[in-house]
Amino acid sequence: MKDEFNLVRIIEDVAKKDLRYPEEAYFFVLKGLNFTVAKLDKPRHVTGQELSDGMRLYAIEQFGPMSKDVLEHWGITRTEDFGNIVFNLIEVKLLAKTETDSIEDFKNAYDFKKAFARPVEYKIE
């Protein structure tokens, strides 16, 4: 319970520092990361592209045809927004990165409008 309270407090602080994204967006990304890693054969570090793809699948699983609308409500309109959130979480040490990870890894991973308009046919390997 104490750890959960600390997590909430950290997310509140991060969301206050970067007003582009509400707390819900941060919790969504953390859950989406867990979802993405759980889809792998064995746990490992995921790339920005893999995480962006996993976020799309997780959003569709959670929100169905409303996915794009929910994400846009949270200020997430492109894959770069996932990167901004991830790197904000790295900054407060809730997530870690490798030396080769960059916010650029999230740039143009896919087009939001197209990604949420087509059927999901992606498998994380």
Supply the pTM of this predicted model: 0.88
The predicted-structure confidence for 96-119, as pLDDT tens digits, reads as follows 999 999 999 999 999 988 898 855
Query: How far, in Å, CA of 53 to CA of 18, rounded?
Result: 24
The residue behind tokens 């991060």 is: 14
Q: Please state the domain extents for the chain.
A: 2-115
Classify residue 120 by its DSSP letter. P
Query: How far, in Å, CA of 115 to CA of 79, rounded?
Result: 11
The predicted-structure confidence for 80-94, as pLDDT tens digits, reads as follows 999 999 999 999 999
Six token digits for residue 64: 């169905």
Of 56, 69, 28, 32, the closest CA to residue 115 belongs to 56
